[in-house]
């Protein structure tokens, strides 16, 4: 079975492991156990279904307000989108936020998804969204070379 979920940067194991560790280990101790289980289930489903799974989810949620969406479009860079997975969509005790994009490929669409950054958000303002956007820019610019 194909796997479609990757961590940024694709070729730098040290930073990739930082984001992977944040999602798979550090998040265990934050938020509710049920929210963490939902997050893990979403990541498993993304790994199995890739880009197609996310696009299906976006289509299913198109009539929801932004604050009630589990996955939301945040920004664009050179025709590549930055998405935010939110589990739960909102909560006073905190929200798991995983920033992701589709793998940039000039000549064909593939099904791969890349996690650019992750955080457990407890305050109004997201702390790692700028880092996620910078990672998106870096990924797209490197793919364009």
Question: Which H or E run contains 72?
Answer: strand 71-77
Model confidence pLDDT, tens digit, residues 119-129: 988 888 888 89
Q: Please give the distance of CA 4 from its chain centroid, rounded to a whole number.
A: 13
34-43 pLDDT per residue, tens: 888 999 999 9
Q: What is the domain count for the chain?
A: 1
The residue with greater pLDDT, 57 or 88, is 57
Q: Each residue of 68-81: pLDDT tens digit?
A: 899 999 998 988 89
pLDDT at position 15: 62
Q: State both tokens at 123.
A: 């305050």
Average pLDDT of the chain is 85
Entry pTM: 0.87
**Which structural domain, as residue segments, surrounds residue 102?**
5-144
């Amino acid at each position: 079975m194909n796997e479609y979920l990757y961590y940024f940067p694709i070729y730098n194991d040290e930073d990739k492991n930082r984001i992977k560790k944040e999602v798979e280990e550090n998040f265990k101790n934050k938020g509710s156990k049920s929210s963490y289980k939902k997050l893990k289930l979403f990541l498993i489903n993304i790994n199995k279904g890739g880009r197609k799974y996310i696009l299906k989810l976006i289509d299913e949620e198109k009539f929801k307000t932004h604050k009630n969406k589990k996955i939301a479009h945040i920004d664009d860079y050179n025709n590549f989108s930055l998405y935010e997975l939110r589990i739960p969509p909102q909560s006073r005790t905190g929200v798991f936020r995983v920033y992701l994009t589709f793998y940039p490929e000039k000549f064909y669409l593939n099904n791969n998804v890349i996690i650019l950054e992750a955080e457990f958000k407890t305050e109004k303002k997201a702390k790692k969204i700028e880092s996620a956007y910078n990672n998106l820019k870096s990924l797209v610019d490197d793919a364009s070379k």
